Structure 1
Amino acid sequence: MSEKTREATRSARERLQQERAAEKSREKRKRGFVVAGAAVAVLAVAAGIGVVAAGAGKDKPAKGAAGPVSAPTGAGGKDGLAIRVGAADAPATLTVWEDFRCPICGQFENVFRDTFHQLEKSGQMKVEYHLATIIDGNMGGTGSVRAANAAACAQDAGKFPAYHDALYENQPEETSDAFGKNSRLLDIAGKVDGLSTQRFKACVDDGDHDAWVGKSAKAFTTGGFTGTPTVLLNGKSVFPKKGDENITPANLRKWVAEANKGKQPGKAATGS
């Protein structure tokens, strides 16, 4: 075989390898789009079911709800029931009422998590979380209450965003009351850097924020909400739709941009 022939063969082989690599890359992107689209579609379809099911039961008061209310550090909003993530001066506010046992809440957070964090870090939007406990009322158990108290304890430690995400990443089945065990909540805390401290453990085990959780649960049941998640952008409902448009990561970014037109992004430190 001549040198010229060998060079031509090598070039052809390299082109074939490049084409195969490009095809694999295209297929990977395609699969990603299909998975993301399916997740949003499932979320949109399940939303109606979730709202009806979530609204069917009665909210179960938190243990110790009659005791003195101890709000987590930095809680604000009406009656001090909101835990904020993002710059305080961000022009857009997303209000989220959720229950850590609620499967639709879990789907919602897992689909939109990256979008939320991008908008928070860029100063475009802050999220104000309100915690409900309706699944305890629907299914029995105390997992909603216990998880909400633990999340409030994480807020005291300055670790609410990471722990909030970890709870949804490790969410049990709706019919399971795994979050009713403080040991499980403490195990999940081990996934968050710097959260597993004696102070956090004592806060979880002693139910330091149970009365605050009870107050938040009551605000949900008397607030006219139909189920979890309830999601409002600047006070207007955006879940599962805003007008005729379904909520998707792309649409949420668009809606925030439209709401923020002519406004400066927030400059305060992110976090709560």
Structure 2
Amino acid sequence: MGKGAREATARERIAQLRHADRKKDRNRRLATMVTIGTIAVLAIGGGAWYAAARDTAEKQTAAAQLAPTTVNADGSVTMAQAGVTKPVLDVYEDFQCPACKALEESSGPTIKNLAAEGKAKVVFHPITIFSMEPTKSNSVRAGAAARCITDGAQWPPFHDKLFAEQPSETVEGFPLTDLVAWGKEAGVTAPDWEKCVTSQKFAQTQLTQSDKIIRTEKIDGTPALKLNGKDVDSDVAFVPAKLRQAVLAAGK
């Protein structure tokens, strides 16, 4: 094969790879939009179902009684009583994702309660699923700020605060000054907290780890729950009673 032919083949291969990357990116955005659209339909068109899910939300265990929480080196966060290794409930979420906020409002207390009761080992994976602006940057700022917390006891309240303050997808949100202030409100006491957040020290790590998780765990959209490695259907994930039942059954 001549030099010209080799170069043409190389260019062709690069074009194919770029096309594949664009296709995966479109699919990821579509999956996320579908998830969000589904929740929107439930919240508006099928309001009764969504309202019922929220109305049946469990009362969350008091903060002082939450299961011990550990911030892991890869940015994931484990919430579990000592000695509890299964069942494992993995929660993949994006702080900018409206559907994730909906999950937090309906099943968030159940997830934390199951860990507190010693019924499950819960692992949170805060990732950035969005690729378009301003949602991508909003997500990265929030995710990078959460990575600045190394004290497990201080992570849950900040996690909850981020969802409570989630901005609209159409505007630039999660400003750095607010993230710093919210962390202090949530009880973050690390001396380098403000510098870590405002410098966005872990922004690139947030992106790199997110891409790795999305690929290896085949995450198509958020929120995504996996119970002992198996996907949890949304009609279970968003209904507290059904989610509790599924976790308890998996622990038998």
Shorter-chain TM-score range: 0.5 to 0.7
Q: What corresponds to 1:47 in structure 2? A: none
1:152 paired with 2:152, answer: no
1:121 paired with 2:121, answer: no
Runs of 4+ in structure 1 over 6 Å off: none
Cα distance 1:119–1:189, how it changes in 2: closer, same or farther (>3 A)? same
Matched-pair contact (CA < 8 Å) for 1:39–1:111: no
1:38 to 51, 63, 66: 51
Query: Which structure is higher in RCO with an 8 Å CA cutoff and minimum separation 6?
Result: 1
Cα distance 1:202–1:116, how it changes in 2: closer, same or farther (>3 A)? same
Q: How many residues align?
A: 189
> For residues 1-272 of structure 1, what are the structure 2 equivalents within 5 Å?
38=51, 40=53, 74-75=71-72, 80-87=74-81, 89-90=83-84, 91-135=86-130, 137-140=131-134, 142-156=137-151, 158-179=153-174, 181-193=175-187, 195=188, 197-223=190-216, 224-241=218-235, 247-261=238-252
Note the alpha carbon deviations across 1:24-58, whole angstroms, 9 max, x for none.
xxxxxxxxxx98851538xxxxxxxxxxxxxxxxx
Instruction: For residue 142 of structure 1, give the secondary structure of its aligned residue in structure 2.
Output: helix
* CA-CA distance at 1:110 after TM superposition: 1.5
TM-score (norm 1): 0.62
1:110 and 1:212 map into 2 onto residues whose CA distance is 28
1:241 and 1:36 map into 2 onto residues whose CA distance is 10
TM-score (norm 2): 0.66
* CA-CA distance at 1:189 after TM superposition: 1.5
2:83 and 2:209 map into 1 onto residues whose CA distance is 24
* CA-CA distance at 1:217 after TM superposition: 1.6
* CA-CA distance at 1:99 after TM superposition: 0.9
Cα distance 1:157–1:94, how it changes in 2: closer, same or farther (>3 A)? closer
Matched-pair contact (CA < 8 Å) for 1:94–1:231: yes
1:143 and 1:88 map into 2 onto residues whose CA distance is 35
1:37 and 1:100 map into 2 onto residues whose CA distance is 20
1:131 and 1:196 map into 2 onto residues whose CA distance is 21
Cα distance 1:138–1:162, how it changes in 2: closer, same or farther (>3 A)? same
- Gapped regions of structure 1 (runs ≥ 5): 1-33, 42-72, 262-272
* CA-CA distance at 1:191 after TM superposition: 2.5
Matched-pair contact (CA < 8 Å) for 1:178–1:184: no
Cα distance 1:247–1:170, how it changes in 2: closer, same or farther (>3 A)? closer
Matched-pair contact (CA < 8 Å) for 2:140–2:206: yes
Cα distance 1:109–1:205, how it changes in 2: closer, same or farther (>3 A)? same
Q: Which amino acid aligns with 2:200?
A: G
Q: Which amino acid aligns with 1:38?
A: A
Cα distance 1:201–1:152, how it changes in 2: closer, same or farther (>3 A)? same
Instruction: For residue 84 of structure 1, give the secondary structure of its aligned residue in structure 2.
Output: strand
* CA-CA distance at 1:129 after TM superposition: 1.5
Percent identity, please: 30
2:214 and 2:115 map into 1 onto residues whose CA distance is 28
1:192 and 1:227 map into 2 onto residues whose CA distance is 28
Q: Which moved more, 1:101-110 or 1:111-120?
A: 111-120
Matched-pair contact (CA < 8 Å) for 1:186–1:196: no
1:39 and 1:147 map into 2 onto residues whose CA distance is 29
Q: RMSD between aligned alpha carbons? A: 2.7
1:83 and 1:114 map into 2 onto residues whose CA distance is 16
* CA-CA distance at 1:151 after TM superposition: 0.8
* CA-CA distance at 1:149 after TM superposition: 1.0
Cα distance 1:201–1:96, how it changes in 2: closer, same or farther (>3 A)? same
